[in-house]
Amino acid sequence: MPSSETLQFHEPARFPRGFTCASRNVGLKPSAKDLALFVSDVDATAAAVFTRNHFPGAPVMLGRETIRAGRLRAIVVNSKVSNVATGTAGIDAARRMAAAAASEIGTTVDRVLVSSTGVIGVQLPVELIERGVRGMSGELQPDPLVGAYGIMTTDTHPKALSASVGTGAGAATITWVAKGSGMIEPNMATMLAYVFTDATFDAPTLDRLLREAVHDSFNMLSVDSDTSTSDTCAILANGHAGAVDEREFARVLKAGCIRMTEILARDGEGAKHLIRAVVERASSDADARRVAKSLVNSPLVKTMVAGADPNVGRLLMAIGKCFDCAIQSDETDAWINGYAVVRGGRRLEFEDAVVRDTLRQDVVELRVSLGAGESGATAYGCDLTQGYIDENAAYYSS
């Protein structure tokens, strides 16, 4: 599997040919940007995946319909109000938001994907969006960070990446724009991730490539184990660069999704560390994923990283509590930042001070070999600090 670290990202990030974006304050928030618009100059092939939460927001319900055609011209996103648990009025508001954006850029309502993020259970003041979107087509710019600023909520910085597929005149570009701070969101802040490319793909292929990339990236991200009602990841391919090698595209797409996942985890609420949990020699992909997620979701592992303590017992506990996984407890080995700390299910003697020191690094890697098979998986998370409690205990929903 390609590591995100072997991929060369553009500096600064840029859009593929034909994509632009704009963002504005339209009055949902006091002054910060609260509306973003991403546009392709021609209809793009498109695919998307959405939250599995049983209470999806109105934009997710509408988006599932819209994406069936496999074609998009634009994405319009507001923050502050998520338009979730708002009934049929919420669906109407989402449709009006799509129509307003479509009218502004000269396309039809069924070519616009809508996302909303923010508080749940409040009706969307859609007239502010209808009024606010007017004239945005005149502000469209080729810098993806402009759009990334427009979709931020609790993120501490805007998030955009881009990379090339192939070289020379036939090269295509992939650009990722996302907000966090997790799949799994403090304040229902929602994970939204949009991918733009000028490569040519048909919609079924694009859908398959997106699902494969998301499987190993955004779906392995956990900030706090809470799954938002609005999560959306969409990809648009406008074809301006023509066909590219599918394997190379898939490799770059997945590597960029993994890198963006790491960026989102690192910017989880209150986080000071990225935790990468690498599970090897599991008996199945499902087991590997479950153990890796168990490690990044364990409050005791998360606080151990926050406190820079090489607590081997907490690692064994988090592995061992995956009751339904095939785990050979006396074949289990573990490493913290490359240092062996468990062999055959027993704690090894190790240089405590040295390992403790490595836990102060920005990235903490917990590696586990289950000795049960040949499958592996990596999950991405962050430490649990007082910052998380501060932000979420102080949050007022009304």
Say whether residue 395 binds a second copy (CB under 8 A).
yes
Least distance (Å) from a second copy to the CB of residue 302?
9
Q: Verify whether residue 108 is a known catalytic residue.
A: no
d(CA 270, CA 191): 16
Least distance (Å) from a second copy to the CB of residue 261?
19
Say whether residue 360 binds a second copy (CB under 8 A).
no
Judge whether 392 and 228 are in contact, CB under 8 Å.
Answer: no
- Tell which residue, 44, 105, 38, 101, has the closest CA to residue 70: 44
Which stretch of DSSP H or E encloses residue 334?
A: strand 333-336
> First and final CA of the chain: distance in angstroms?
45
C-alpha R_g of the chain: 21
Say whether residue 382 binds a second copy (CB under 8 A).
no
Q: Is 317 exposed, middle or buried (CB count within 10 Å of its CB: 0-12, 13-18, 19+)?
A: middle
Say whether residue 362 binds a second copy (CB under 8 A).
no
d(CA 258, CA 261): 5
Q: Name the active-site residue from 66, 117, 153, 190.
A: 190
Instruction: Respond yes or no on whether the N-terminal peptide bond of residue 116 is cis (omega within 30° of 0).
Output: no
Instruction: Respond yes or no on whether the N-terminal peptide bond of residue 12 is cis (omega within 30° of 0).
Output: yes
Which residue's CB is nearer to a second copy, number 36 or number 327?
Answer: 327
Query: If you ran DSSP here, which 8-state letter would residue 167 be given?
Result: S
Which residue's CB is nearer to a second copy, number 120 or number 160?
Answer: 120
Say whether residue 396 binds a second copy (CB under 8 A).
yes
Say whether residue 388 binds a second copy (CB under 8 A).
yes
The count of chain residues that interact with a second copy, using the rule CB under 8 A, is 68
Q: What is the dihedral of CA 161, 229, 227, 37, to 10 degrees?
A: 10
Q: Which of residues 224-283 bind a second copy (CB under 8 A)?
A: 224-229
Least distance (Å) from a second copy to the CB of residue 178?
20
Least distance (Å) from a second copy to the CB of residue 176?
25
**Of 346, 354, 363, 374, which lies in the binding site for a second copy, with binding defined by CB under 8 A?**
346
Which residue's CB is nearer to a second copy, number 82 or number 162?
Answer: 82
- Asked whether the CA dihedral 323, 327, 333, 336 is positive or negative, the reply is negative
Query: If you ran DSSP here, which 8-state letter would residue 221 be given?
Result: B
Q: Which of residues 168-207 bind a second copy (CB under 8 A)?
A: 185-188
**Of 5, 11, 30, 54, which lies in the binding site for a second copy, with binding defined by CB under 8 A?**
54
- Tell which residue, 257, 292, 256, has the closest CA to residue 375: 292
Say whether residue 25 binds a second copy (CB under 8 A).
no
Say whether residue 219 binds a second copy (CB under 8 A).
no
Least distance (Å) from a second copy to the CB of residue 341?
9
Q: Which of residues 297-336 bind a second copy (CB under 8 A)?
A: 297-300, 303-304, 306-307, 309-314, 316-323, 325, 327, 329, 332
Which residue's CB is nearer to a second copy, number 27 or number 345?
Answer: 345
Say whether residue 221 binds a second copy (CB under 8 A).
no
- Tell which residue, 10, 153, 57, 40, has the closest CA to residue 105: 40
d(CA 28, CA 31): 8
Judge whether 37 and 134 are in contact, CB under 8 Å.
Answer: no
Judge whether 184 and 222 are in contact, CB under 8 Å.
Answer: yes
Which residue's CB is nearer to a second copy, number 2 or number 345?
Answer: 345
Say whether residue 351 binds a second copy (CB under 8 A).
no
Where along the sequence are the contacts to a second copy (CB under 8 A)? 52-56, 82, 84-87, 119-122, 185-188, 224-229, 297-300, 303-304, 306-307, 309-314, 316-323, 325, 327, 329, 332, 342, 345-347, 352, 384-386, 388-390, 392-398
Q: Which residues are catalytic?
A: 190
